[in-house]
Chain A
Amino acid sequence: MHDLAPLTPLGAPAPHCDDIGPLRIAETPDRALASVSARLGQEAACKTALGALIGADAPDIARYTGGTPLNSFWIGPHSWMLEAPYAGHSDLAARAKARLGDCASVTDQSDAWARFDLTGEGIARVMERLCNLDLAAMAAGTARRSVVAHIGCHVIGHDSAHATLYGPRSSAQSLHQALIMAAKSVF
């Protein structure tokens, strides 16, 4: 067996973190992800089963629901993303599939996405330089997919001082550079 050392999406052994003015941009690699899409005619059953899985109502359109420890956010009609700490949930997709059965198609999305967490003040001022979404006007707990610096990303606004971005892992450095440049232009 090879002894392989894991690298974060930015290519380092440990997650990267930048503090620019009052804003912290932190790479957050320790999340397991799985997408859930209802099968034709099974939309209602899938939503119910997903709710039972996360212990709360399945997120409505453009919403994020934080559970313990399973989180979920809406990514499209009858489609959701499941999110959990990677430790203890490395088999998240298989576990979700076992619970959801034939009412949904479940796809492992861990390692497909690079996650960045923006915390602190001025998130909306940075994001308005990068993205169509108006984070200043977005309600807490909104999850939308849009373009950030020409890169398709999921944007989750937890509150005015915390936002999460999921961008494609293969574009992690481009997304990171865009975030840093925008933050430096603000602060």
Chain B
Amino acid sequence: MIIDHPLLGPCDAQEFTYKGDACLIDRPEGLGDGAEAAFHDYAYLRDNPAGLHRELWFHEQGDRSWLVVTRNTLTHEIVGVELARDVARSRGRGR
């Protein structure tokens, strides 16, 4: 499997490690109201789509950047790759 890195171009998936669903970016506020329930859902609840899935990949044996890879779980086709940093900032995260 080849992941088209936004900075470096096509890289072998061997260089990456897989983290999980990209919804892990949306970590709940730890001190807010309902934090316990929010963290339960954050830690345990995942969608399991047959089709497009956004997931976090880490370029461990490369430039150490985190990527959000949109992959079709039925065909393994990769239809989009973004820097996780850009995705997080587009959702209002400051760091």
User: Which residues of A line the B interface, CB within 8 A?
Assistant: 40, 61-62, 74-77, 79, 132, 144-147, 152
- In chain B, what residue has the closest Cβ to A153? B61
- In chain B, what residue has the closest Cβ to A62? B8
Alpha-carbon separation in the docked complex, A62 to B65 (Å) = 13
Hey, which chain B residues are within 8 Å of A144, CB to CB? 8, 62
The answer, yes or no, to whether B41 is at the interface (CB within 8 Å) is: no
Hey, which chain B residues are within 8 Å of A76, CB to CB? 63-65
Q: Identify which of residues 46-75 in chain B touch chain A, using a CB-to-CB cut-off of 8 Å.
A: 60-65
User: Which residues of B line the A interface, CB within 8 A?
Assistant: 7-8, 11-12, 14-15, 60-65, 83, 85, 95
Instruction: Please determine whether A146 and B7 come into contact, CB atoms closer than 8 angstroms.
Output: no
CB distance from A2 to the nearest CB of B (A): 37
Instruction: Please determine whether B62 and A145 come into contact, CB atoms closer than 8 angstroms.
Output: yes
Alpha-carbon separation in the docked complex, A62 to B8 (Å) = 7
Hey, which chain A residues are within 8 Å of B83, CB to CB? 77
Hey, which chain A residues are within 8 Å of B65, CB to CB? 76-77
Alpha-carbon separation in the docked complex, A145 to B63 (Å) = 6
> 11 A-B Cβ contacts within 8 A?
A61-B7, A61-B8, A62-B63, A74-B63, A75-B63, A76-B63, A132-B11, A145-B63, A145-B64, A147-B15, A152-B60
Hey, which chain A residues are within 8 Å of B15, CB to CB? 132, 146-147
Hey, which chain A residues are within 8 Å of B64, CB to CB? 75-76, 79, 145
Hey, which chain B residues are within 8 Å of A77, CB to CB? 7, 63, 65, 83, 85
- In chain A, what residue has the closest Cβ to B8? A62
Alpha-carbon separation in the docked complex, A168 to B65 (Å) = 20
Extra A-B contacts (5), CB below 8 Å, given A77-B65, A147-B14: A40-B95, A77-B83, A79-B63, A132-B12, A145-B61
Hey, which chain B residues are within 8 Å of A75, CB to CB? 63-64
Instruction: Please determine whether B8 and A132 come into contact, CB atoms closer than 8 angstroms.
Output: no
Alpha-carbon separation in the docked complex, A144 to B83 (Å) = 18
Hey, which chain A residues are within 8 Å of B63, CB to CB? 62, 74-77, 79, 145
Alpha-carbon separation in the docked complex, A77 to B64 (Å) = 8
CB distance from A165 to the nearest CB of B (A): 14
Hey, which chain B residues are within 8 Å of A61, CB to CB? 7-8
CB distance from B32 to the nearest CB of A (A): 23
Hey, which chain A residues are within 8 Å of B61, CB to CB? 145-147, 152
CB distance from A133 to the nearest CB of B (A): 9
Hey, which chain B residues are within 8 Å of A62, CB to CB? 7-8, 63
Hey, which chain A residues are within 8 Å of B60, CB to CB? 152
CB distance from A43 to the nearest CB of B (A): 11
- In chain B, what residue has the closest Cβ to A76? B63
